[in-house]
Amino acid sequence: MPKKSDNVKKAARTSAETGLASYRRPREPINLVIFGGAGDLAWRKLIPALFDLFKDGCTPESFAVTILDAAPIRESDLLKRFHDGVRQFSQNRLRESDWKEFSRHISYAKEDFTDKSTYSRLSEQLAAMEKGWDARAVSIYYLATPPRFFSIIADMLGKAGLNRKRKHARILLEKPIGHDLKSTLEINRVITARFHESQIFRIDHYLGKETVRNILAFRFANLLFEPVWDRRYVDHISITVAEQVGLERRGSYYESAGALRDMVQNHLLQLLCLIAMEPPVSFDADEVRNKKVDVLHAVRRYPVELTGDYAVRGQYGPGRMDGRKVPGYREEPGVAPGSNTETFAALRLFIDNWRWQDVPFYLRTGKRLGKQTSEIVIHFRPVPHQSFPLEATINWMPVSLTLCIQPREGIVLRFQAKRPGAEVVLQPVTMHFSYRDAFGLPSPDAYKTLLWDLMIGDATIFMRADQVEAAWSILMPVLEYWDTHPAADFPNYAAGSWGPKDAETLVARQGCIWPFPTSLPPVHPAVML
């Protein structure tokens, strides 16, 4: 058995090697129970991220991962599947000796989440673990299940007394949290009846992305940008999360979700919060979440019948992606032939407060778009007076700042420079900051960060009940309108294009255009911010 000090040294060394200097080994033992853990999420994200934490010496010395699922699968087969997931998705090279050591911590039980006896067996198992470790463990109940199980599981955990130790029991809900405001209120009501808010972690994996976490660092650790971060200097802001992928075998889920529920309600509105929030007094979890929820409360609401003025929906038809033909949404497995589900959504929002009054925020997201890219562009106003002669300003473009969230990670500032030569000719140029060039390492996967925060009990990058509810309340009129007024023009964009024409019109009304995806240079940039 390795000595504790050896492990701590190993943790420090491996964390430093991977650039994760601040990750440390949680002190208390952890019992992680994943409900629905035989599904895709555990295979693709959770187990590979846990493996990475394990490799970095950032899992506690004593920990167990218990997978509970209704799937009729043998433990050995599930472990083979996890092995394959780690091979494909871990950020570390998979060495068999590491896998052997790591997989000893994982067990599987086929269980019915609605059955009382499941929870008494779980309770006995958790107690036995603690006895074996001779220490009190933190139990984490990770609900990687469809939302219809959230209330049932929370309730059953409560009845079995597994919620009682407030500092030693946490529950995590995967998105989607609810289907609309009403169902979310009900989930929150049941969960909060069984668990204290400080025990509840609601995940939005975008908040675990390094580039998303950097938004607050960029805004509030640099004096330069914050003074111009308001309606006096900003013309409009656009947030794009464009995906090239289609449904990836999730037809039946997506049919009942659509782009607005799947992406806007959570990921895009969280990005909006980070861009628009006021400076927090501290990075205390509730302080940050208070400031974010203030943004959501300030988003202008419209009556249902005005939906068409600020919201656009789309659905992809057949098209070409990277030179190959791809089917339309209605031809995807699990999708109804006349489906009315949107695979694209764009919104124009206003935030009614002193900082942002009348500044449009354009949000768009879609599947099967021309390029995979997530970026936020702050478009600054033109200069108040153009002193240069007209011929010098032919190429003139306003200053913009682009936060590249993924797949390239960095920041690009565009401004004007004088082109070298006798004549004064202005030309837009860019300065780049690229994570890879600055830090030399790939950023940790979002789930690694989220799981680590979950283990140490830091809820700052998780969503509070009121945030989720406020986000739903913004979208309810749109959902209501779209549900009751089926789209007459679906499919209205070809796979591989940039979405429906109406999305262009939405921004053109204020004289704007959607920005073309910014690319960071592939080699070392000449200038770094």
Task: Name the residues that contact ligand BG6, by CB under 6 A.
Answer: 175, 205, 243, 262
Of 423, 399, 14, 432, residue with least CA distance to 236: 399
Phi first, then psi, for residue 157 (nearest 5°) are: -60, -40
Instruction: Fill in the DSSP letter of residue 329.
Output: G
> Which ranges of 137-180 does DSSP label H, i.e. alpha helix?
150-159
Of 496, 499, 494, residue with least CA distance to 324: 496
318 with 237: CB under 8 angstroms? no
- CA-to-CA dists, residue 189 to 155, 177, 182, 340, angstroms: 11, 12, 11, 31
d(Cα 491, Cα 515) in Å, to the nearest integer? 24
Sheet arrangement for strand 169-173:
106-110, 63-69, 30-35, 138-143, 169-173, 200-202
SS3 content of the chain, % helix, strand, coil (to 5): 40, 20, 40
Report the chain's C-alpha Rg in angstroms.
24
Going through 12-91 in order, the beta strands assigned E by DSSP cover 30-35, 63-69
209 with 406: CB under 8 angstroms? yes
Catalytic residues: 267
Question: How deeply is 71 buried, as exposed, middle or buried, from its count of CB atoms within 10 A (0-12, 13-18, 19+)?
Answer: middle
d(Cα 370, Cα 49) in Å, to the nearest integer? 29
d(Cα 173, Cα 327) in Å, to the nearest integer? 33
Query: How many other β-carbons are positioned within 10 Å of the β-carbon of residue 221?
Result: 10
Positive/negative CA dihedral, 64, 65, 71, 75: negative
Q: Are strands 311-314 and 344-349 parallel, antiparallel or unpaired?
A: antiparallel
414 with 430: CB under 8 angstroms? yes
In the chain the first and final C-alpha atoms are separated, in Å, by 47
